[in-house]
């Protein structure tokens, strides 16, 4: 029997698939989320599945007891439409990471991974669509995404100081736009790949060949497929990398190019309208993978075309089932 690994946020997109992956490897997993278990994306029958509110210190202590490794993925988050309109809610996630680190120290956890975000990066480095890829040092001087990004940056510092003061091996993953099947695809918390896949799918299903794009469509991003995220996360956990590190694709596209890709997959061309007053985040963002290649001899490699093909097919199937009144996976965070 392997040592106990705790995954928080296990009812969510990344957490649920991480639990499934670890369980398949024979790892003993305790999976925790605040949502009712019936609302989890995945429920691994091989894991110990618990419901707990990790904003509460006593809950963190109870679920951490006996754990050797902790993947702390629990947070209130979503796409740009959510985080721009829920800054206070996003910042309250600081309670989760604070109490989880305190619990990890109290229960002598050996390794603790915190899921951070590219939203920690300074906004003045992301004002041009033709952005220079963000390297880890670009988080300072600090000017993070208001609300969500500042919480992540503060929690990164907390991990650093718990490592320095209490000798917990903390690892910090700066995720860049993770997407894939079984993720949130409707309801307001979905990110751009899922939102665009849903809009294209609905255009195909309804025959209304139109699509609304937030912003002018020329803002740039990179998007990481879930399988790469799972590999990188576990590699980082077991590495000796003490500083925050990018886990993201370096294949940068405009949002218009992302729409092009999904249209090609779906075999349609849609009339585009642009909602210029919609939340759209920074002008440009991409991951510099120099450090992860040097430290791990690895970097995310799934092409956006390949990942979006799988993602679109899954979202189309869910949207089609919903339209026809059949069971579907809502995957709402």
Residues catalogued as catalytic: 148
**Cα–Cα distance between 98 and 108 in angstroms, integer?**
15
Is the separation of the CB atoms in 249 and 186 below 8 Å? no
Task: Please report the sign of the dihedral spanned by the C-alpha atoms of residue 132, residue 134, residue 139, residue 144.
Answer: positive
Six-digit token string for 291:
């450090």
For residues 59, 63, 65, 70, the Cα torsion angle rounded to the nearest 10 degrees is -120
Helical pair 192-206 and 304-323, crossing angle rounded to 10 deg: 50
Task: Please report the sign of the dihedral spanned by the C-alpha atoms of residue 182, residue 185, residue 191, residue 193.
Answer: positive
Residue 217 C-beta-side C-alpha neighbours within 13 Å: 13
Residue 310's nearest CA partner among 163, 147, 121, 183 is 183
Six-digit token string for 224:
């990481």
Helix (H, G, I), strand (E, B) or coil at 130: coil
179's enclosing H/E stretch is strand 178-179
**Cα–Cα distance between 36 and 8 in angstroms, integer?**
14
Residue 66 has φ and ψ, to the nearest 5°, of 90, -10
């Amino acid at each position: 029997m392997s040592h106990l690994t705790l995954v928080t946020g296990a009812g969510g997109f990344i957490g649920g698939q991480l639990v499934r992956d670890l369980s398949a490897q024979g790892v003993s997993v305790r999976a925790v989320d605040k949502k009712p278990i019936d609302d989890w994306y995945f429920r691994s029958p091989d894991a110990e599945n618990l419901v707990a509110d990790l904003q509460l210190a006593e809950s963190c202590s109870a679920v951490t007891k006996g754990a050797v490794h902790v993947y702390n993925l629990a947070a209130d988050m979503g796409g740009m439409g959510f985080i721009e309109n829920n800054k206070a809610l996003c910042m309250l996630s600081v309670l989760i990471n604070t109490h989880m680190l305190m619990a990890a120290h109290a229960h002598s956890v050996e390794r603790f991974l915190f899921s951070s975000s590219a939203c920690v990066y300074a906004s003045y480095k992301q004002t041009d669509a033709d952005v220079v890829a963000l390297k880890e040092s670009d988080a300072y001087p600090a000017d993070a995404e208001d609300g969500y990004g500042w919480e992540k940056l503060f929690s990164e510092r907390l991990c650093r100081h718990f490592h320095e003061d209490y000798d917990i091996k903390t690892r910090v993953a700066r995720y860049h736009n993770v997407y894939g099947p079984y993720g949130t695809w409707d309801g307001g918390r979905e990110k751009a790949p899922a939102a665009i896949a849903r809009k294209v799918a609905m255009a195909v299903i309804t025959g209304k060949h139109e699509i609304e794009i937030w912003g002018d469509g020329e803002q740039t991003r990179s998007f990481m497929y879930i399988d790469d995220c799972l590999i990188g996360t576990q590699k980082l956990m077991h590495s000796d990398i003490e500083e925050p590190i990018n886990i993201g694709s370096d294949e940068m596209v405009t949002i218009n190019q992302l729409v092009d890709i999904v249209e090609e997959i779906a075999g349609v061309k849609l009339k585009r309208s642009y909602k210029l007053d919609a939340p759209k985040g920074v002008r440009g963002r991409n991951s510099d993978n120099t450090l992860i290649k040097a430290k791990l001899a690895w970097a995310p490699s799934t092409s956006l075309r390949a990942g979006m093909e799988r993602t679109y097919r899954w979202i189309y199937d869910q949207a089609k089932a919903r339209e026809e009144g059949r069971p579907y996976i809502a995957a709402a965070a």
